Chain A
Amino acid sequence: MQVEAGAERPFLSVSGLSVAFPTEDGLVRAVDGVSLSIEKGKTLAIVGESGSGKSVTAQAIMGLINRKTAKVSGEIWLDGQELVGLSDSEVQALRGSEIAMIFQDPMSSLHPFYRVGDQIVEAIRAHRQVGAKAAKRETLDMLRRVGIPAVERRIDDYPHQLSGGMRQRVMIAMALINSPALLIADEPTTALDVTVQAQILELITSLQAEFGTTVIMITHDLGIVADVADEVAVMYGGRIVEVAPTGLLYDRPEMPYTLGLLSSIPRMDRELPERLEAIRGNPPSPIRLPAGCVFQPRCNYSDRVTSGACLDVRPELLPTTPEHLVRCHLPTEERQQITQDVFNILAGGS
């Protein structure tokens, strides 16, 4: 994860990214020192509750944070180019061409007054000098590829005439129309029916393979991540608290928060326990974050750290193995033991 000096940078690397919004109640540190990286063509999932900073992180990478109302610091390197220091017009040129985004609610994300075809054509012509006819042909082609039936007719529909799944397909077509190198999908299935969710995820994955796109998948649902992501970053209180390859994170989570998230998912391959474990309490207010570990007030195990460091020292994101980073004061062995115990209980063992 950490980039050594002189070493070649990963395709996307974010380091020390912070986003703060000054408000009347104080500075809201929505994202605080986030570092992550993705290799080309891979998928990184960012998982967290509402308010964990995952969407703000995505919007910062996308250059969608209004710099008049927020402070963005840190570095974002995409394919050898640093993004935070770019001017507004340079960022604008990258948006929609190099980096594209799919949003949560396709109904409200598509403009209600314009035909879906025209909205895609607009995206093409924002970045490329293409004639009206060619742009329309390209749009038809892309709509076909995202699996919209009867495209010749659908291209002239307004968003409200399409179903939720079709609308999200249109959004995906719009995002991919300029073959972006990086696609950010911000909860792309949350607003959709469960039956449609799987189709949309499958579509994103197959198009990703076809176009060689790098994907950041933002979600609060660890359940959908398993099939899609190569690597998972768990965010809490504006920070990354655990990063690991997907399989490793599912099998051997170490941060108590990740463990809580995982044990609150009902799983087909396990006996359903008496009741699902919820994580007690609520996420912290981004204005008054706890002085020590941000998760400490909700953590069941912080009293095992006898030094009391959880209360007043911010833990660092440290490697357990080179590819598994955890932000926790508990000793590694203790964390692994806790996970073992919890998994045993969930599996119905002693």
Chain B
Amino acid sequence: MTGYLIRRVLSMITLLFLLSITVFFLFNLLPGDPARLTCGKACSPQTIEANRHRLGYDEPVLTQYTKFVTGIFAGRTFSADSPEPIVCEAPCLGYSFTRHQEVTKMIVTALPVTFWLAIGAFLLWLSIGISVGIFAALNRGRWPDRLVMGISLVGYSMPSFFIGLMLVFFVILKLGWLPFPAYISPFENLGQFLQTMILPWIVLATLYAAYYMRLTRNQVLEVLGDDYVRTARAKGLPERVVVVKHALRAGLTPIVTSAGLDLAGLLGGAIISENIFSLPGLGSLAINSVLDSDLPVITGITLVTATFIIFANLVVDLLYAVIDPRVRVG
């Protein structure tokens, strides 16, 4: 187990390293001159060249990359030879000259918003998706099953911007049940936080819950026909124990994988939901950075998101080993 863990962590670090190279060089290959973007239309070639030097874009790509990686671990200083050097402390993911802010700080500010959005939606869709999926499986072929599957199909087919805009229109504008969303930390004002988050949670959870209902239903149906479930019945265990302890334990295991990766993906930002409800999360930050061609921020967000997903993969695999003894050996 320890050997497995060490191997997994090492391969995770290698993967992150390769990823940083890919991301960095890929974005450097993009058309457009980052230095050109630093000042407006009436920009003299001299200013552009001066900015290019200030930002370090005049150096070879490899040197830029080395400095970028060094910045993550040791911090770095931009335009060191100018009268106003910009000190970026580790972990420094770069500096946005468009917004005049450190990328790390921008991400750290946006991350909690996305985190709360993702966690809330995650809990909502898991609890609804799994319980309803089990319910449908246990009533297979009868009307509750058909009803659930119908609802799931509708939920899965509706684009989240549609659900989101409908909710904004009716719940906020027409009926006035909720104030217009204005994000605030739950530690500052829990009431306002909940009022702001409830609709985004519903929008995000609808799509995923619909998917998880189907996933759970199919999983449970599959294991209910498995031989060890028949054995559990043959032992004379009560049906409740047969379903919960024997069928669900095995049937829900693959859902752990899905859930972990979906959550990690969401932590990279839910672009549509964040935009509809004006939540200043990673998704909004990403979209705005793309619109501004703010390369350092895009690079930073891509790396952070990828790290989440790689890390989630590791966690999911370790969890799997805890749940399924067959995975533990080797």
How far is it, in angstroms, between the C-alpha of A146 and the C-alpha of B250 when the chains are bound?
A: 28
Q: How far is the CA of A193 from the CA of B236 in the complex (A)?
A: 30
A126 engages B250 (CB within 8 Å):
no
Interface pair B326/A158, CB less than 8 Å apart: yes
Residues of chain A contacted by B326 (CB below 8 angstroms):
112, 158, 160
Q: A110-B228, A110-B231, A111-B250 are in contact. Are A158 and B236 (CB under 8 A)?
A: no
B234 CB-CB contact with A under 8 Å: yes
Residues A108 and B234 in contact in the complex (CB < 8 Å), given A113-B249, A113-B250, A113-B324: no
Chain B residues numbered 238-262 whose CB sits less than 8 Å from any CB in chain A: 238-239, 246, 249-250
Q: Which of B236, B246, B249 has the most CB of A within 10 A?
A: B236
- Greatest chain B CB density within 10 A among A88, A94, A109, A127 is at A109
Q: Which A residues are in CB contact (< 8 Å) with B239?
A: 88, 92
Asked if B292 is at the interface of the complex by the 8 Å CB criterion, the answer is: no
Say if the beta carbon of A187 comes within 8 Å of chain B: no
Give A111 to B246 CA distance when docked, in angstroms: 7
Q: Which residue in chain B gives the minimum CB-CB distance to A96?
A: B236
Q: Is the CB of A64 within 8 A of B233?
A: yes
Expressed in whole angstroms, the Cα–Cα distance for A101 and B231 within the complex equals: 8
Decide: A108 near B325, CB < 8 A? Known: A64-B234, A92-B238, A96-B234: no
Q: Are B227 and A105 in contact (CB under 8 A)?
A: yes
Shortest beta-carbon distance, B214 to chain A, in Å?
22
Note all chain B residues with C-beta closer than 8 A to A220.
Answer: none
B263 interface contact, C-beta 8 A: no
| Those of A129-177 within 8 Å (CB) of chain B | 158, 160-161, 171, 174
Q: How many residues of chain B have a CB within 8 Å of chain A? A: 21
Centre residue among A93, A94, A123 by max chain B CB count within 10 A: A123
Q: Which B residues are CB-close (under 8 A) to A95?
A: 233-236
B87 at the binding interface (Cβ < 8 Å): no
Beta-carbon contact of B324 and A112 below 8 Å: yes
Q: Judging by beta carbons under 8 Å apart, are B228 and A126 in contact?
A: no
Quick one: which of B230, B232, B234, B236 has the most chain A CB within 10 A? B234
The answer to whether A108 touches B236, judged by C-beta atoms less than 8 angstroms apart, is no
Per DSSP, are chain B's interface residues mostly helix, strand or loop, or mixed?
A: helix
Query: Which residues between 56 and 101 of chain A lie within 8 Å of chain B, taking CB atoms?
Result: 62, 64, 88, 92-97, 100-101
Bound-complex Cα distance A109 to B235 (A): 12
Q: How far is the CB of A337 from chain B (nearest CB, A)?
A: 45
User: Which residues does chain B contribute within 8 Å of A105, judged by CB atoms?
Assistant: 227
Cβ contacts under 8 Å, B233 to chain A: 64, 95
Decide: A127 and B236 in contact? CB cutoff 8 A: yes
Nearest chain-A residue to B238 (Cβ)? Answer: A92
* Complex contacts, A174 vs chain B, CB 8 Å: 231, 235
Kindly supply a per-residue 1/0 record for chain B positions 211-236, scoring 1 wherever the CB is within 8 Å of any chain A CB and 0 otherwise.
Answer: 00000000000000011101111111
CA distance A123 to B237 in the complex (A): 8
Nearest CB of chain B from residue A76's CB, rounded to whole Å? 16
* Contact between chains at B234 and A92 (CB < 8 Å): no
| A100/B234 in contact, CB under 8 A | yes
C-alpha spacing A108/B231, complex, angstroms: 9
Q: Does B231 lie within 8 Å of A109, measured CB to CB?
A: yes
Given known A-B contacts A112-B325, A113-B323, A160-B326, A94 and B231 have beta carbons under 8 A apart = no
- Asked if A123 meets B227 with Cβ closer than 8 Å, knowing A111-B250, A112-B250, the reply is no
With both beta carbons as reference points, the residue of chain B lying nearest to A112 in the complex is identified as: B326
A122 within 8 A of B: yes
Interface check A103, CB cutoff 8 A: yes
Q: Whole-angstrom distance between the alpha carbons of A100 and B230 in the complex?
A: 12
Cα-based distance from A127 to B246 in the complex (angstroms): 17
Q: Which residue of A lies closest to B231 (CB)?
A: A109
Residues of B within 8 A of A123 (CB): 235-236
A112 touches B228 (CB 8 A): yes
**Interface hub of B238, B250, B325 (most chain A Cβ within 10 A):** B325
Most chain B C-beta atoms within 10 Å of own C-beta, residue among A88, A110, A122: A122
Q: Are B234 and A111 in contact (CB under 8 A)?
A: no
A62, B236: Cα distance in complex, Å: 10
Chain A residues lying within 8 Å of B231, measured Cβ to Cβ, are 103, 109-111, 171, 174
**Most interface-central of A111, A122, A158, A160 (chain B CB within 10 A):** A111
Which single member of A62, A96, A103 contacts B227 (CB below 8 Å)? A103
B230 to chain A, nearest CB (A): 7
- Nearest-neighbour CB distance to chain A for B24, whole angstroms, equals 43
B228 touches which of A62, A93, A101, A108 (Cβ 8 Å): A108
Bound form: Cα–Cα A64–B235 in Å:
11
A10 to chain B, nearest CB (A): 23
Q: Which residues of B contact A127 (CB under 8 A)?
A: 236
Given contact pairs A112-B324, A160-B326, A122 touches B235 in the complex (Cβ within 8 A): yes
B196 CB to nearest chain A CB (Å)? 41
A160 to B330, CA, bound (A): 13
A345 to B90, CA, bound (A): 92
A108 vs B223: C-alpha distance when bound (angstroms): 11
State the CA gap A88–B237 with chains docked (Å).
11
| 20 new A-B contacts at CB < 8 Å, known A64-B233, A113-B250, A161-B329 | A62-B234, A88-B239, A92-B237, A92-B238, A94-B236, A95-B234, A96-B234, A100-B234, A105-B227, A109-B227, A109-B230, A110-B231, A111-B231, A112-B228, A112-B326, A113-B323, A113-B324, A126-B237, A126-B238, A158-B325
**11 intermolecular pairs with C-beta atoms under 8 Å apart:** A64-B234, A108-B228, A109-B227, A112-B250, A112-B325, A112-B326, A113-B325, A122-B235, A122-B237, A158-B326, A174-B231
| Contacts from A to B (Cβ < 8 Å) | 62, 64, 88, 92-97, 100-101, 103, 105, 108-113, 122-123, 126-127, 158, 160-161, 171, 174
Q: Which residues of B contact A (CB under 8 A)?
A: 226-228, 230-239, 246, 249-250, 323-326, 329
